[in-house]
Chain A
Amino acid sequence: MKLKYLRGVATLKLETEKCIGCGMCVTVCPHAVFEVKARKAAVTDADLCMECGACANNCPVDAISVKKGVGCAQAVRNGFLRGTEPDCSCGDDGTCC
């Protein structure tokens, strides 16, 4: 059974004009959010995006932007309590993303 998270929240943006169709986003995305059609990348289903940032980081022409972060309640809580960005404090107490 396919697990999907909340609808319409992902911050993923693809600027198709910049895309050179190299397919790097297809390679790195762990949820098959991208496909290359007619030498341009396209988003198949943005609701599958977990905002890991792999595509944006590896796009050689900066055609992809996403607000990268960990989808972790504990991290959001830590960030809120410390007034910082969400931080999963992996390694501090043994619990991890």
Chain B
Amino acid sequence: MTERTQKITITRRTAPQPNGACDHISSEYTRSDRLAAWKARWGINRNSWRIKPGLYALGAPAADSPVFATANYKLSFDALRTSLKGLNAWLLVLDTKGINVWCAAGKGTFGTMELARVIAETGLEKKVRHRNIILPQLGAPGISAHRVKAYTGFSVVYGPVRAEDLPEYLRLGGATPEMRRVRFNLCDRMVLAPVQLVHFGRYMLPAAALLYVLGFRADAAYTAGALFAGGALVPALLPWLPGRSFAVKSAVAGLLVTALIAVGHYHGAAQFAARALIYGSAASFVGLDFTGASTYTSLSGVKKEMRLALPAHAGAFAAGLAILAAWRFL
């Protein structure tokens, strides 16, 4: 099969096929898949990377071949199929509105009822003799394994967190404790940084450009610096920035960058203090949003942080502006 026909077979049809033959897919990761992943990470046309929900055949699966469930987000689907090289398997794609497994499970779209629906609509019980479906472990927040069993007769088996561990998981016949843990190492963090940078850059880069045009060149640099601190330094240096709070970590990153930029400009103490307050709080605000990308923050924790951080951000920002105004007019 050529690369071209593989791509087409994935996206060709628009309606589910309850009874007919299912689409055949390959486990190859092609250049166009890589480009699609890059675009999705930068938020370019991200919502168009949906896979049609339904049942797919990888290789030449038979009635005793394993069934793997995933989300209809291209990056999730690609991670699964490319991890199953050389295997004959059924891939069951749930309709998660183009969202990855973990986020969709949090929202409940990767959920018990959707799994039951897609099992019924694809006629899975006629395709396989066994009654097991291997789910990604991170689908568990949306799934009730015992309810799936009661509704459909299929037993949910939780596979590893990462699809890349599937070959080893299948070889061992189970997951190691390491396979059951989410990570948040440098690579995991940096791959999520672009979306944050794009999101806040939309507002902060035009603001920096405007400041530059108006003659506030130092402040243009500070604004871009705050974006860099909160959007790139926080993910990069997360374990080493002090404290557990993202607002505190991000404020420190913001102060660091502000101080570095200040070296290149001649400011008095009051001038510098004003900038530290303004851009430190801006960086803290940006960096606090990285809680959403992190793999270990809880809702209760974020709520607590925000109750304290948001008034502090507003207060510091206003105080900084007040100092600048006083310095200018007094």
Contact A27 B298 (CB under 8 A): no
Tell me, in angstroms, the Cα distance from A71 to B103 when the chains sit together. 11
Residues of A near B146 (CB, < 8 A) are: 58, 60
Contact A30 B299 (CB under 8 A): no
Contact B302 A58 (CB under 8 A): no
Contact A30 B180 (CB under 8 A): yes
A1-32: contact bitstring with B at CB < 8 Å (1 yes, 0 no)?
A: 10111110111000000000000100111111
Residues of A near B298 (CB, < 8 A) are: 5-6, 9-10, 49-51, 69, 71
Contact B140 A28 (CB under 8 A): yes
Contact B301 A94 (CB under 8 A): no
Of all chain A residues, the one with the shortest Cβ separation from B142 is: A57
A61-73: contact bitstring with B at CB < 8 Å (1 yes, 0 no)?
A: 0000001111111
Contact B106 A52 (CB under 8 A): yes
Contact B300 A72 (CB under 8 A): no
Contact B292 A6 (CB under 8 A): no
Given known A-B contacts A6-B244, A73-B288, A88-B292, A54 and B299 have beta carbons under 8 A apart: no
- Residue from the list B99, B102, B297 in contact with A91, Cβ < 8 A: B99
Residues of A near B291 (CB, < 8 A) are: 71-73
Tell me, in angstroms, the Cα distance from A6 to B244 when the chains sit together. 6
Tell me, in angstroms, the Cα distance from A9 to B105 when the chains sit together. 22
Write the nearest CB–CB distance from B136 to chain A, whole angstroms: 11
Contact A96 B103 (CB under 8 A): yes
Residues of B near A52 (CB, < 8 A) are: 105-106, 140-141
Residues of B near A77 (CB, < 8 A) are: 306
B132-172: contact bitstring with A at CB < 8 Å (1 yes, 0 no)?
A: 00000110111111100000000000100100000000000
Residue of A9, A54, A73 with most chain B CB atoms under a 10 A cut-off: A73
Tell me, in angstroms, the Cα distance from A24 to B195 when the chains sit together. 34
- Residue from the list B46, B177, B180, B289 in contact with A74, Cβ < 8 A: B289
Residues of A near B246 (CB, < 8 A) are: 73
Tell me, in angstroms, the Cα distance from A76 to B308 when the chains sit together. 13
Write the nearest CB–CB distance from A57 to chain B, whole angstroms: 5
Write the nearest CB–CB distance from A69 to chain B, whole angstroms: 3
- Residue from the list A48, A90, A95 in contact with B199, Cβ < 8 A: A95
Of all chain A residues, the one with the shortest Cβ separation from B161 is: A30
Residues of B near A9 (CB, < 8 A) are: 298, 300-301, 304
Mark out the residues of chain B between 284 and 330 whose CB falls within 8 Å of any chain A CB in the assembled complex: 288-289, 291-306
| Interface presence of A41 (CB below 8 A) | no
Mark out the residues of chain B between 180 and 207 whose CB falls within 8 Å of any chain A CB in the assembled complex: 180-182, 184, 195-196, 198-199
Residues of B near A68 (CB, < 8 A) are: 106, 141, 299
Given A94-B43, A95-B196, 6 more pairs with CB closer than 8 A: A58-B143, A68-B299, A73-B246, A73-B306, A96-B100, A97-B103
Q: Which residues of B contact A (CB under 8 A)?
A: 43, 46-47, 97-100, 102-107, 137-138, 140-146, 158, 161, 175, 177, 180-182, 184, 195-196, 198-199, 238-240, 244-246, 288-289, 291-306
Q: Which 9 A-B pairs have the closest CB atoms?
A: A69-B299, A72-B292, A71-B297, A54-B140, A94-B43, A28-B140, A1-B239, A51-B298, A30-B182
